[in-house]
Amino acid sequence: MDIRPNEKILELRAASHVGPNQLSFFKVSLDLSKNTTLGLYGDRDSGSSEILKSIYGLISIEEGTLSVFNLNPKSHTSKIREMTGWLSAQPLFDDELKVMESLQFWCSLYGINPDASYRKILEWSRHLEIEVGEGDDYEQFDEFEKQKISLLQCLLTDPQLILMDGYADRFHGAQLDWWLRFYNQHISGKYAVLVYSQKSELLEKMATSTAIMNRGKLTGIKSNEEWREEVESKEIVHINCTFEEAQYLLNKLRHFRKVFQTDLGLRVYLHKEQSVHDVLSVIERPSLTVRRINLGDVHLHHTGRLIIYEGMVA
Amino acid sequence: MKMSQQWVQDLTEFPLIEKGLWLFLKRNAHSFFQHRKKEWVWSIIETLLYTLVLGQGLGAMIGEVQGRSYLEFVLPAVVLGSVFLSAYQESTFILNQKIESSRMVQKYLLAPSSIQQYMFAELIWITLKCSVIGFTGAVMMSLIFKVSLLVIVGLLPNCILMAWLASAIGFSMTSFSNRESNYILFFSFAILPMFLLSGSLIPLSYLPQWTQDISLIFPFTHGLESVRWIYRGLLGPELILHFGVLIFLSLVLTNFGISRITRRVQLRG
C-alpha cells in the first residue's frame, strides 16, 4: 500500500483497553504521520506496550477508534503487519534455525523470495555493522548483536511503520551512540516510528513529539520542548474546574511560572519558591479540587514514573 | 460469548488453512532434517528394545496368541504405544516449554500469518514426524524379526491416526495447563490405563467382561483392533468403524486444541 506524504499512518481516538487485572490505557488519542516519530514516555505499567499491541492487532481496544494505514487492526491484522515492523526490548529469535535461515524464513512469511531476502540481509548487515554467516547460531552473538539482528529482521520487510517497545532502552555508552547514529542515518525521517521508552533522554533525541504516559493515562502529546518544561518543573498543580471558572482563574494565576487550560481544568506550573498553598490562597475557592502533581520527588531518569499525589487539598 | 457457546465453537471449528501453514510446515521440516534428525534414533532403539524383550523374550515363554506368534501380536502395541507417547510428549512438555520459555513462539506471534497457522503446523508436523518415525521402526522390526507384512500394512494408517490423536490430546492438555505435573498426571490416570486395558499386551478376551466393555471407549483399542483386523485379512465394516472413531476423535480434539492453544498464546502475548 502506498502512503502519500503527510498521510496519517495511525489514528487513535479516545481508545481504552482493560487488561486481565487492570485498566491498561484510558481515552488515549494520538496521530502519527508518515516519516515522523512519536515517543511514548512512561513507566513499565503505563499502558504504552498495550497501545503498541493494539496497533499491531495483538489486543483489541474496548472503546474508541483505531485506524492503521486507514485499516482496522482487528479485521486487517495481517495486512497491517505486512507494513509494520516490531522491535521489542528483548530480542525474539528462532533458536531452532541458524540465524541466516531464520531471517530468510521471516522474509518468506512476507512473500519475499530467498534470493531477494539474501541480498537484503547482506545489504542491511553492512549498514548494521554485523556479520551473519550461513552457519551462525544465535548463541554465538552477544545481546547487543542480537538486538542488531532484531533490527535487521525488522528492516528486511520494508515496513512503513515501526513500533519500538522499549527497544534500545538497555543500550548504554558506545551502544547508545551507535544506535542514535544508525537511527538518524537510516530510520529517522524515512519511516513512521512509534517508540516507547522509559528513558527520557533517549526520547528527547529520537522523537519529534512525545506523549507522557501516566499510570495508564496519556496526559497529552507535546513537542519535546514543552515536555522538557513539564519534566523540569519542580511542582505542578492541577485544578479541577469548569471552563468559566478556568477563564476567571487564568488571570489571577498569571504570576505563576506557567498556566494553561486543559479539558479538566487548569494546570499551573510553579516557580521554585512557590507551593500549592500559594495556589490555594490565590484561587480562594475551597470547593475546587486541587491536586499537586509532584515531579521533583521522583528521579525521572531512573524510574520514568510520574507520580500524582491525590487529595492534597487545603 | 457464553462458556458453553465457546466450547461448542472450539469443538466444531476446524482451523483455517492458509499460506502460512505451508511455510511453517516447510520450516519445521527444514529444521528437523538440517539440525535435529538424530532425534529419530532413540525412538527406533526404544521400539527395538521393547520388541526384543516383550516380543521375542516374553513371546518365547507364551508361544502363540490367536494362532500367530506373540511377537506379531504385541508389535502393533509396541509401535503404536511408542508413536502415541512421543506425540504426546512433543505436544505437551515440549510445546509448553516453547510457549513458556522460548522466544520463538513470541516471535511468530508477530508474524503476518496468524499464530493459529503456526500452532496448526506444529500439530501436523508432530503427527507426521512421530508417525513416520514409528512406521520406520515397525518396518525395521519386521525385517529384523521377520514379522508378517500384513502387520506392517495395518500399522501404516494407524501410526498416522495415533500420532494425530495423541497430538490433538496433547494440544488440548497444553491449552488447559502450563504445569508439567498435570501432563504427568494425565499420563498416569488416562494414557497408561488406556494402554494396559486396550488389549495391547494380552487379547481382550482374556480380561473380564467389564474391562472389555470399558476398553471400547479407549481410542487405543480401536487402533490396535484395526491393525489386527487387517492382519487377519478382515476388511469389513468393523474396520471402517474403528477408523471412523479415531478420525472423529482426532478431528474434534484438533479443533478444540488448536482454538484453545491459540488463545493461550495470544493471552500470554
Q: What is the DSSP string of B61-99?
A: HH-EETTEEHHHHHHHHHHHHHHHHHHHHIIIIIHHHHH
Sheet containing strand A258-262, strands side by side: A258-262, A265-269, A235-240, A289-294, A307-309
- Residue at A199: amino acid letter: K
Q: Check pLDDT > 50 for residue A142.
A: yes
- Rounded to the nearest angstrom, the minimum Cα separation between A50 and chain B is 10
Choice between A35 and A69, residue whose per-residue pLDDT is larger: A69
> Which residues in chain B have their CB less than 8 angstroms from residue A161's CB?
none
Cβ neighbours of residue A112 closer than 8 Å, sequence gap 6 or more: A120, A156, A157
Which residues from chain A sit within 8 angstroms of residue B108, using beta carbons? 94
Identify the band that residue A257 occupies on the pLDDT scale cut at 50, 70 and 90.
confident
- b/e code A232-263 from CB counts within 10 Å (16+ = b): ebebbbbbebeeebbeebeeebeebebbeeee
| pLDDT greater than 60 at residue A43 | yes
Averaged pLDDT, A242-265: 79
For the residues B110-134, what does the mean pLDDT come to?
Answer: 93
What is the pLDDT at residue A218? 63
Q: Is A60's Cβ below 8 Å from some Cβ in B?
A: no
Check CB contact under 8 Å for B36 and A96: yes
| pLDDT level of residue A84 (50, 70, 90 thresholds) | very high
Q: Do B107 and A93 touch (CB under 8 A)?
A: yes
What's the helix, strand, coil split of chain B in %, to 5? Answer: 80, 0, 15
Is residue A262 less than 8 Å (CB to CB) from chain B? Answer: no
pLDDT band for position A193 (50/70/90)? very high
* CB of B23 less than 8 A from some CB of A: yes
The tens digit of pLDDT for each residue in A296-311 reads: 333 222 222 233 322 2
More confident residue, A74 or A272: A74
Out of A118-127, A134-143, A167-176, A237-246, pick the least confident: A237-246
Taking CB atoms within 8 Å and a gap of at least 24, the contacts of B20-23 are B20/A109, B20/B111, B20/B112, B20/B113, B20/B114, B20/B117, B20/B118, B20/B121, B21/B113, B21/B117, B21/B120, B21/B121, B21/B124, B23/A105, B23/A108, B23/A109, B23/B113
**Separation between Cα atoms, residue B34 and residue A97, nearest integer Å:** 9
CA-based nearest distance B156→chain A, Å: 29
Q: Buried b vs exposed e over A197-215: b needs ≥16 C-beta within 10 Å? A: bbbbebbbbbbebbbbbbb
Above 70 in pLDDT, residue A149? yes
Q: What is the pLDDT at residue A26?
A: 74
**Does residue A109 belong to the interface with chain B, where contact is any CB pair within 8 Å?**
yes
Which one is predicted more confidently, A277 or B167? Answer: B167
B38 touches chain A (CB under 8 A): no
- pLDDT value at A291 more than 90: no
Map grid coordinates 506368534 to a residue.
B69
- The x, y and z cell numbers of residue B153, run together, are 500394512
Three-class secondary structure of residue B239 per DSSP: helix
Residue range A4-17: mean pLDDT, rounded: 77
In a mutational test of the B interface, the residue from A109, A134, A150, A152 whose CB has the highest number of chain B CBs within 10 Å is A109
When the pLDDT of each residue in chain B is averaged and rounded to a whole number, the result is 90
Sign of the torsion formed by the C-alpha atoms of B117, B119, B120 and B125 = positive
Bigger pLDDT: A310 vs B111: B111
Q: Are B136 and A122 in contact (CB under 8 A)?
A: no
For residue B173, the model assigns a pLDDT of 95
Which range, A14-28, A65-79, A232-246, B51-65, has the best average confidence (pLDDT)? A65-79
> What is the structure's pLDDT at B135?
92
Of A126, A156, A152, A159, the residue nearest A138 (C-alpha)? A152
The conformation of residue B53, written as its DSSP 8-state character, comes to I
pLDDT band at A70 (very low <50, low <70, confident <90, very high): very high
Give the separation between CA B225 and CA B242, rounded to whole angstroms. 7
Partners of A253 in the β-ladder = none
Closest-CA distance, A78 to chain B, in angstroms, reads: 4
Closest CA in chain A for residue B21: A109
Closest CA to A306 of A48, A7, A52: A48
Cα gap A93→A73, rounded to integer Å? 24
- Does A146 lie at the interface with B, CB-CB under 8 angstroms? no
A95: confidence class by pLDDT, cuts 50, 70, 90 = confident
Q: CA of B32: which chain A residue's CA is closest?
A: A96
Distance from CA of A244 to the nearest CA of B (A): 46
Contact (CB, 8 A) for B18 and B113: yes
Most B-contacting residue of A105, A139, A152, A157 (CB-CB within 10 A), to test interface: A105
**A140: pLDDT confidence band, cut at 50, 70 and 90?**
very high
Return the closest-CA partner of residue A150 out of A223, A206, A88, A192.
A88
- DSSP label at residue B189: I
Q: Which residues have CB under 8 Å from A222's CB, separation 6+?
A: A209, A210, A211, A212, A230
Chain A's closest residue to B266, CA to CA, is A58
CA distance B136 to B115: 31
For residues B80-95, average pLDDT = 94
A248 touches chain B (CB under 8 A): no
Distance separating alpha carbons of residues A134 and A101, to the nearest angstrom: 8
d(Cα A101, Cα A288) in Å, to the nearest integer? Answer: 64
Q: Provide CB contacts within 8 A for B64, sequence distance 6+.
A: B70
Q: Rounded mean pLDDT of B120-139?
A: 94
List all residues 6 or more positions away from A84 whose beta carbon is below 8 Å from its beta carbon: A55, A56, A68, A159, A160, A161, A162, A163
Whether A47 has a pLDDT exceeding 90, the answer reads no
Place of cell 494396559: B196
